[in-house]
Structure 1
């Protein structure tokens, strides 16, 4: 049981909401992509041309999101160390809320790209401010568990995105897929209301206030001095491996599951409306399976990190991630079986992110904590951006976009094994107390 008072629970809940809606806004596009992209390009939804275009533009827009996410994470990480965690949390939540909602009004694909860039800057900045705020506000003995609870907001955000998309695109506007995606984007405004609540109820953590009044503002270059460089490299390598693996798989989850459902519908001889319904159901079901696995994986990081240490925990997750991806995308499986194999992928590929909310803050002292955690967690997205772009590009070139995407995702199963080679240089932080 966490030993938190009411105010500490309020801080944890505020950061939890910020991170959950961060992911919610980040992935709304991926759910509406099969309808949004063909509409903006003037293609018939469900046609082979639309499927090919959807894979390509989903990959490209996801990569652009990751680049903006990286820039926002690094920039707002420094902002959080300068002006405070709470103020930065509010700014970033408002930024990604209005960026997402504006996607509902876009007239073409190019304006959509601009709106997603604005969204990505806010999304990238929120995590560093939220994790630093929680790490500094809760008691030392409860920090690990609090960090894990914070990370559960990510799958909850995806569950909410799944629910909203299914209710709007799969139920209310099922007969009008050319319009339904615009209403889905409007739900991105919800975080704006949450940001106002944060403004009224949350103060800056005492640890940050004390440090900010007695020390100079941090510089990004400090992450590469003799004292901090080993921590920076350790955080970047682990984050990069996990990010490249996760985005290469999860970014295409709605598109892949939709294509698998379309294939299953052809086998069953379903009509057009029934095919659309099956696609929406499979998108929702696959997302639920993957993110249920994510929740399991997040909670597993606590006992594994406590008893085996951080280094062994990362090694275990990398090995299991590779195995789950290679099996899911490498074997010739029926669509239904492939869908259920997203459960173990969720446990290991997505669950590993539960560790970053406590591991990265452990690497840096208070005055540079948000800068360091934000840099490590987000700079890897620059390289990770190549994953979705490569999957989408390869899928759009072949005669069978689905098979091409599955094959490309299979090869990304070797990324965690590459990351495993760097485990000997990872810094072990088991038992480490946060440094002021």
Structure 2
């Protein structure tokens, strides 16, 4: 009997080539993190140069989130249909071109359109790399690797933020931030071409022409013996479609996970999008505001790593729900920090730790919930709809600020998302039991 190559990869220690694939996907998500936050670092300069108010700025800040929503849903389904590798390469090209174009934007409308298109590439990248990492990891390291992949987002925000703050301090030109992202994304294209093979699980699920040869070629590179034939297809083939996500087996968890991600990511992007403007309005300059956002992303990264490590020893669901609940109280502390740069940095970092632990913890849950044929589609749908809703976050916060609400009131209002998300995560076992025949 031919050994299933998926079982061989799941049981064996990770080969260095598997580690390299995971590492490159983490690096690509680091680009995602910087590309998304580039507009946040640039926001004070844009508002000053173009004379736009908070409400209009909130709309601009939300545009790539809308693009990410479309990219996650549409491109995630494309990745299940044509493969992970070509989808990742296409998204990377869109990101590089979009960052370059943003540096030459001349008005709010032009910049908004560019950020929307860039967001499509970012959203597709996130869902595709999440599936790729899960499929190149063994059973022991899968949860940790998926969490580290998402942590790459915060790593990019931290490292890119340090450089962006230095650029803003030396040049005073917000366009330099986008140029930095364009150069970094362009450099990553040849690395992805040479280092990313197609995943074996995707090849087996899709069975394109030459699938057996491609599977054996990748198995050889990973130090495994070739197989004589592909594993037989399942008795009931799952089609990579939105309809499959709402079949009896997956409808309940799809709804709960989508609501959870929607609510938690709305909460997350309040921190990510508004910190620079909040800090500047408290009397600090743009470079100092960027520093506070960097500290928030230190909290993001630490929370992601801790939740990934903890997932190897403890049940993930209560860890994720607990982080979401604590995040609500932590954001209240940020709302009370006042015009003190140290308190703002510390409370932002603590709040971001718990908020992002809740976000990142959802990704291993998604990888465990959906089979290979639906993994990118399921992940893409959940984060796509979630990010579409999260685009409301900066807008709602902007409207609350414009209406005269205090920092504490706005922070706690946005923090309600964490309470909603925790409730959905607690309900997941109930939905999975109801789906069983």
Contact 2:102 2:175 in 1 (8 A): yes
The partner residue of 1:8 within 13, 18, 27 is: 18
| Matches of 2:98 and 2:329, distance apart in 1 | 37
By how many angstroms is 1:222 displaced? 0.7
2:242 to 194, 197, 220: 220
CA apart distance, 1:181: 1.2
Q: How far off is 1:332 after superposition? A: 5.6
Match of residue 56 from structure 2: 57
TM superposition shift of 1:191:
1.3
Contact conserved, 1:326 with 1:411, CA < 8 A, in 2?
Answer: no
The alignment status of 1:329 with 2:335, answered yes or no, reads yes
2:407 and 2:86 mapped to 1: Cα distance? 41
Given the alignment, which residue of 405, 408, 411 partners 2:410? 408
Is this contact kept in 1: 2:44–2:286, CA < 8 A? no
Query: Do residues 108 (structure 1) and 107 (structure 2) align?
Result: yes
Are the equivalent residues in 2 in contact too, given 1:310–1:428 (CA < 8 A)?
A: no
**Quick one: which of 256, 260, 268 aligns to 1:238?**
260
> 1:82/1:60 Cα in 2 relative to 1: closer, same or farther (>3 Å)?
same
Cα gap change, 1:157 to 1:380, in 2 (>3 Å): same
Runs of 4+ in 1 over 6 A off after TM superposition: none
- SS of the residue corresponding to residue 353 of structure 1 reads helix
Q: CA RMSD in A?
A: 2.3
CA contact (8 A) 2:252 2:431 kept: no
Correspondence for 2:191 among 197, 202, 215: 197
Shift of 1:149: 2.2
Instruction: Tell me which residue corresponds to 2:181.
Output: 188
**Which secondary structure state, in structure 2, belongs to the residue aligned with residue 188 of structure 1?**
helix
Q: Deviations over 1:313-338 (max 9, x none)?
A: 12211111011012221466745423
Counterpart position of 1:128: 127
Number of equivalent positions: 392
Q: Which residue of 2 aligns with 1:270?
A: none
1:156-305 correspondence runs (5 A): 156-171=155-170, 173=171, 177=172, 180-189=173-182, 190-213=184-207, 218-262=240-284, 279-305=285-311
The structure-2 alpha-carbon separation of the partners of 1:406 and 1:192, relative to structure 1 and needing over 3 Å to count, comes to farther
Partner in structure 1 of residue 387 of structure 2: 381
8 Å Cα contact 2:34/2:160 also seen in 1: yes
Deviation at 1:170, TM superposition (A): 0.6
- Report 1:353-364 matches (<5 A): 353-364=359-370
> 1:374 offset after TM fit, Å?
0.9
Contact 2:238 2:244 (C-alpha < 8 Å) held by counterparts: no
- In structure 2, the CA distance between the partners of 1:14 and 1:292, relative to structure 1 (3 Å rule), is same
Judging changes above 3 Å, is the alpha-carbon distance between structure 1 residues 134 and 333 closer, same or farther for their aligned structure 2 residues?
same
Structure 2 match to 1:351: 357
Displacement after TM superposition at 1:69 (Å): 0.9
Match of residue 434 from structure 1: none
1:386-413 CA distance string (max 9 Å, x none): 2210111232344xxxx64553223212
Query: Would the alpha carbon gap of residues 416 and 7 (structure 1) be closer, same or farther in structure 2, given more than 3 Å must change?
Result: same
Q: TM-score, normalised by structure 1?
A: 0.84
Partner of residue 153, structure 1: 152
> Hey, what's the Cα distance between the residues in 2 that align with 1:76 and 1:258?
36
Please state how far the C-alpha of 1:103 moved relative to its aligned partner: 0.7
Asked if residue 417 in structure 1 is aligned to residue 404 in structure 2, the reply is: no
3-state SS in 2 of match to 1:225: coil
The answer to whether the Cα contact below 8 Å between 2:337 and 2:344 also exists between their aligned partners in 1 is no
2:33 corresponds to: 23
Asked if the contact 2:260–2:422 (Cα under 8 Å) also holds between the matched residues in 1, the reply is no
Whole-Å separation in 2 of the counterparts to 1:65 and 1:194: 21
SS of the residue corresponding to residue 318 of structure 1 reads helix
* Superposition deviation, residue 169 in structure 1: 1.1
1:308 Cα shift?
4.0
| Cα distance change on mapping 1:357 and 1:415 into 2, 3 Å | closer
Contact 2:55–2:398 (Cα < 8 Å) also in 1: yes
Question: 1:341 is matched with which residue?
Answer: 347
